[in-house]
Structure 1
């Protein structure tokens, strides 16, 4: 049996990924601060194995406790494969360096970078004693390789996630495991994160007008389209470990 774990599954891309996995009749564990009741209802209607765990991914102690429980639930079933979607992310703080708030800055690094590292580490450790294959999907951003004024913390956390992905993949190759770890850049989507970006101030974010135009001109990608392309890639069996995939390449 295959299991999928989706962080940040309550909304946006995470919700869309979960719905697509339901279509594949895959067992899904959702992890977010609050549960999406629509997903719970949909899982019941489709008769799929679904469970939600509440977790604040900015709290390392909570990450350890919750994901130890998640791992226990999954591994006792001796799964063939676990798909780990490290999808949860935050964009704030949106401001120039010198005007950054400490609390959201620390939270950004914890959610976007430290949480995926801790979760991936835990599951690769548990898998050492089983025949289970782990496939880790780290949701990154084009901001990881393109500096954007006002997004220094977000750019930095996603750049760190890319390097973690590449390094961990190299290590697993050297160890001779079948585990795969790759990153996925979903492009500019029509999600709550985009609403947060558009509500920022011009002083804090120089490119604000450009992102407002994305919405006005209807060029934002739909989350279900992006999720479909990602899940197709994950299930294709052709994933190259350590690679950073971009949605534009998958939609060609």
Structure 2
């Protein structure tokens, strides 16, 4: 049986990924600070294993404790494959360098970069002792490869995530494991993160009006469509380890 662990699965893209995987009869472990009763009820109605675990991904001690327990429980069941979706992320702080506050800087780096590194490291470490294949999907951003005024911290953390993905993939290939690690850039979606962006100030974020237009002109991607494209890639696209995929290239291919 396959198991999927999804961070940030209570809403947005994470929720859509979880729904699609449950439809595919894959057991899901949702990791976020809040529960999603709709996912729980859907799993119950369809007799699929589903579990929600609360975790604050900005606290490394909590990450280690929570994911040690999750990994122990899953590996004990000898799954055929574990899918790890490092999806949780945060955009804040939206502010120009020189006006940044320390606390949101540190929280951003912890959630966007340190948490995926710690979680991936833990699962790949456990996988060394078993024959279970681990597929890691790190949700990144176009901001990882484009400098955006006001987003210095977000751009930097996502760029770091891309480099981690590519480096870990090289290492897994060298070790001749059957594990795969990819990045996925989902584009501009209709999520609460976009609400946060639109509520920022033009002084802090130069492209504010452009992002408001995305909403006004109905140009934001629906999370269900993006999730379906991603899951199709993972299951049927034979993803290339180390590659960072962008939603546009997958839709147009």
TM-score normalised to structure 2 length: 0.99
Give the structure 2 partner of residue 46 of structure 1: 46
Which residue does the alignment assign to 1:134? Answer: 134
Counterpart residue number, 2:93: 93
1:59 aligns with 59
Look up the match of 1:183. 183
**Secondary structure class of the residue paired with 1:58:** coil
Q: Kindly state the Cα deviation for residue 72 of structure 1 after the two structures are TM-superposed.
A: 1.1
Q: Deviations 1:167-207 (Å, cap 9, x if unpaired)?
A: 00000000000000000000000000000000001110000
CA–CA separation in structure 1 for the residues paired with 2:143 and 2:64: 28
Q: Which residue of 2 aligns with 1:114?
A: 114
Structure 2 residue aligned with 1:218: 218
Task: For 1:18 and 1:125, locate their aligned partners in 2 and report how far apart those are by CA, in whole Å.
Answer: 25
Unaligned 5+ runs, structure 2? none
| CA distance in structure 1 between the partners assigned to 2:238 and 2:42 by the alignment | 29
TM-score, normalization by structure 1: 0.99
User: Structure 1 residue runs of 4+, over 2 Å off?
Assistant: none
Q: Which residue of 2 aligns with 1:7?
A: 7
Deviation at 1:12, TM superposition (A): 0.3
- Alignment partner of 2:221: what SS? coil
| C-alpha distance in 2 between matches for 1:237 and 1:142 | 21
> What is the CA-CA distance between 1:47 and the residue it aligns to?
1.3
* More divergent stretch after superposition (236-245 vs 140-149): 236-245
TM-align CA RMSD: 0.6
Counterpart mapping for 1:30-41 below 5 A = 30-41=30-41
Q: Distance in 2 between matches of 1:106 and 1:240?
A: 32
Residue 41 of structure 1: how far off its partner (Å): 1.0
- Aligned to 2:79, what secondary structure does the other structure show? coil
